[in-house]
Structure 1
Amino acid sequence: MTGTPKELTVTAQQGDYKVVIGTGLLQQASSWLTSILNPKTSLMIVYDAKLESLGYVKTLEQSLKKEFVNVYSFAVESGESSKSLQHAARLYSAFLAAGLDRRSAVLALGGGVIGDLAGFAAATFMRGIDFVQIPTTLLAHDASIGGKVAINLPEGKNLVGAFHAPRLVLYDVATLQTLPLYERSSGLAEAIKHGVIYDPELFAYIEEHVEPILLGDSDALTHLLYQSCKVKAKIVSQDERESGIRAFLNFGHTIGHAIEALQYGYYTHGAAVAIGMIYETKIARRLGKIDVEFEDRLRVLLEKAQLPTSLPAEQKSKEAIDALIEHMRRDKKAHSRSLPFILPERLGTVSFEASVDEAVVRQVLAD
């Protein structure tokens, strides 16, 4: 697909920023960045090491060097293990070695891990420098908008972080066409979530176009990204600091994060969230909030998207469920070790349940 890129605007305390979605945006990066940054600004591209062989790093560097004098790059290994204090420290050292200062900017080229790590480093280096998101995965469309950046601790995901809004989100759809199928599948989970919590029309679009999306069709991906990012932009513009409706974006994540943390390497983030959405829908059904027809419709779509909808039998032992529940009690939404959940009431509407009885959660996980 060619033509004029699609644009959204996100409202943020640090300043409003654009989300730009289209093809060929890596080649056009310099023109987009000069609209928000001085050409004398020093730029550090923090990128996923596996992207080097695809040519994306070179393409971005060549574009930026047309307008910016000082452009540096730093590779980070793929995987959740890179979201650590140790890797953040390596970035700080690289920033200092390159001579970055408070007027410099960090560009995150890659998926959600790179965006989180680079964004956290930008938020904390010299008390905060500018930051640009350039996501290259479908999954990252959720994480790249909203300014939440974080690293992990051994005790759990995203426990050390900040709110640091990007100056720009530049989404080149062409980068999604080189993804393996399982990564497009994983990314679809977050778009399906946006449909459940806010936008029934988006949910219906995915039902009708799941096959071309998985196959990497440019038109289908562009429309999906625009509509899904629009949901995220609307929500975070209303509630940047997660004091209200932004918490709805955590549907599927209370259980999903616990699964991911305890089974990392076995489940992608999207797969873990897909399982979490089904189990959290089951909780809603047991509490009388939703009917079985909605659960069945959600399960069918997730399966069409080639996502799992249940834990295997060996992960339903009492010991395994104990570990999941203990991890959920450390969730950022939890207070006094409660079990909080975002629960669907109908397609497009969810609510926050501050504390669900542990017996109900155990029954659902063991089912």
Structure 2
Amino acid sequence: MNRITVKTSSKQYDVCIGYGILSNLQSIIENFSPKVSKIVIISDDNVANYYLEDVKNQVAHLTNTDSYNFPNGERSKNFAIYEKCLEFCFESKLDRNSLIIALGGGVVGDLAGFVAATYMRGIRFIQIPTTLLAHDSAIGGKVAINLPKAKNIVGAFYQPELVLYELNFLNTLPIEEWRSGFAEIIKEALISSKENTKWLINSIQSLENLEPNLIEKCVEMGISVKNQIVSEDERENGVRAFLNLGHTLGHAIEAYLGYTKTTHGEAIAFGTLFSIYLSEKLFETDLSFALFLSWFKKLDYPVYLNLDIPSIIELMKQDKKNVEQKINYVLLKDFGVPKICEVEESVLKDQLKCFLTEIIK
């Protein structure tokens, strides 16, 4: 089991990564102080079918444990499900010494974390990610729910007590979820260094049947990059905003399509590709856009050609990085050299139109 320690201004905690490490959960929780009075496991109905009993068995001898499952998917990250989770916690008689376990992907982690952050003004929680994408979302304490037209707009910064990343849980992921999670690993490589970027491109030519040790190396690289950034800037007042590379367009696409026609990471991958293209144009630099376009196609990332550009721009203007609806965009002056730039709306419209033309050549 590998440990990466996250040290933020509000809390220090471990991220445990490995195969077969779920068996450590009981002993870890036994060492919590004050002693855990009760546990509620929050999951979705898909993940619960696979792994809920495994987690329950690990904590069964610790204290009384309840579980609440909500419908799988991004559309569940809303006020109605959030309220039902809070009501379940209340009916389960959770107190301030209780513990919430978020068992699932990014949606579960975001929602269950926000429940933990707000129930009784904050109780402890653990992240147990079950997707590749959640290697990113489980680290750093961002918890949130969505509005119909704005992703993660209602939320908090609230750090977990522990992130336990059992890599065997990734075995049941469909290929689109591998693509979704790998998009964030690409982002982390791009903002960190030329070396990480080059290693990733050379190492991964397909997302099917990946070697376990290679999966572990990718996850550790991504988490290490995220850790370095969030430890320096917990509340996104500076460098943490660089983690939004690709997200301004990606979130707009998710909202435009209604969160049901694409995965989060696939939309982010498309946004990242546009960020590379836009960076080359605005900084007059060579970031090998053609190479990335070819690589993304080899990895079977979808393209979104039928976008209404004015609608997409309006959705971009609702991004959390913006001030007075001026669009702040994360770009790359070079690999490992991200920069936030205010980009004029007219420039974005023109460049997005050219980009959509370029990718179908």
One-letter amino acid of the structure 1 residue matched with residue 125 of structure 2: F
Provide the C-alpha distance between the structure 2 equivalents of 1:285 and 1:302, rounded to a whole number of angstroms. 17
Give CA-to-partner distance per residue, 1:241-283, whole Å, 9 cap, x none.
1000000000000011000111122221111111101112222
**Contact persistence 2:77–2:145 (CA under 8 A):** yes
Contact in 1 for aligned 2:35/2:97 (Cα 8 Å): no
CA gap 1:214/1:33 in 2 versus in 1, 3 angstroms? farther
* C-alpha contact 2:8 2:232 (8 A) present in aligned 1: no
Find out whether 1:360 has 2:347 as its counterpart. Answer: yes
Paired residue for 1:96, among 83, 90, 99?
A: 90
* Structure 2: gaps of 5 or more residues: 355-361
Instruction: Give the percent of matched residue pairs that are identical in Structure 1 and Structure 2.
Output: 38
Residue 224 of structure 2 is aligned to residue 230 of structure 1: yes
CA distance, structure 2, for counterparts of residue 256 and residue 324 of structure 1? 10
Separation in 2, partners of 1:33, 1:205: 37
1:213: how far off? 5.0
Would the aligned equivalents of 2:74 and 2:260 in 1 still touch at CA under 8 Å? no
Secondary structure class of the residue paired with 1:26: helix
State the shift of 1:211 in Å. Answer: 4.4
Partner in structure 2 of residue 33 of structure 1: 29
Asked if the contact 1:289/1:345 (under 8 Å) is kept, the reply is no
Is 2:145 the partner of 1:122? Answer: no
Shift of residue 76, structure 1, vs aligned partner: 1.5
Deviation at 1:37, TM superposition (A): 4.9
The answer to whether residue 20 in structure 2 is matched with residue 58 in structure 1 is no
C-alpha distance in 2, partners of 1:45/1:290? 49
Residue matched to 1:10: 6
Gaps of 5+ in 1: none
Code of the residue aligned with 1:45 in structure 2: it is I
CA distance 1:302–1:277, change in 2 (3 Å): same
CA distance in 2, matches of 1:281, 1:95: 44
Aligned equivalents of 2:293, 2:45: Cα separation in 1: 35
Q: CA deviation at 1:50?
A: 0.6
Partner deviation per Cα, 1:91-141 (whole Å, 9 max, x = no partner): 111001111011111110000000000000100000001111000000111
Indicate yes or no: 2:332 matched with 1:344: yes
Counterpart position of 2:304? 311
**1:160 maps onto 2:147 in alignment:** no
Kindly provide the CA deviation profile for residues 215-253 of structure 1, in whole angstroms up to 9, marking residues without a partner as x: 242111111111110000000000001000000000000
User: How many positions carry a matched residue from both structures?
Assistant: 353
Contact 1:344 1:350 in 2 (8 A): yes
Residues 244-259 of structure 1 aligned to structure 2 (within 5 Å): 244-259=238-253
Q: Cα distance 1:300–1:6, how it changes in 2: closer, same or farther (>3 A)?
A: farther
Tell me how far apart the structure 1 counterparts of residues 251 and 206 of structure 2 sit (CA, whole Å).
28
Q: How much does 1:84 deviate?
A: 0.7
Determine whether 1:107 maps to 2:101.
yes
Tell whether the 8 Å contact from 2:124 to 2:161 is kept in structure 1 after alignment: yes
Residue equivalent to 1:131: 125
Please state if 1:20 is matched with 2:16: yes
Match of 2:275 among 271, 280, 300: 280
Residue 75 of structure 2 contacts residue 260 of structure 2 at CA under 8 Å; is this kept in 1?
no
Q: Which of 204, 216, 233 is the equivalent residue of 1:210?
A: 204
CA distance in 2, matches of 1:290, 1:169: 39
- Measured after TM superposition, the shift of residue 79 of structure 1 is 0.7
Alignment-derived partner of residue 271 in structure 1: 266
Deviations 1:72-93 (A, max 9, x none): 1111111111111111110111
Offset, 1:155: 3.0
**CA–CA distance in 1 between the matches of 2:101 and 2:26?**
12
Q: Which residue of 1 aligns with 2:234?
A: 240
Q: Partner residue of 2:357?
A: none
The one of 66, 72, 78 equivalent to 2:72 is: 78
**CA RMSD after TM alignment:** 1.5
Instruction: Give TM-score, length-normalised by structure 2.
Output: 0.94
Residue 358 of structure 2 is matched in structure 1 by none
Q: Hey, what's the Cα distance between the residues in 1 that align with 2:28 and 2:295?
A: 36
> Are 1:221 and 2:209 counterparts?
no
Task: Look up the equivalent residue of 1:282 and give its one-letter code.
Answer: Y
1:192 aligns with 2:186: yes
Q: Which moved more, 1:196-205 or 1:130-139?
A: 196-205
Q: Which residue of 2 aligns with 1:174?
A: 168
| Native 8 Å contact 1:83 1:152 kept in 2 | yes
How many Å separate the matches in 1 of 2:219 and 2:27? 22
Q: Which amino acid aligns with 1:192?
A: I
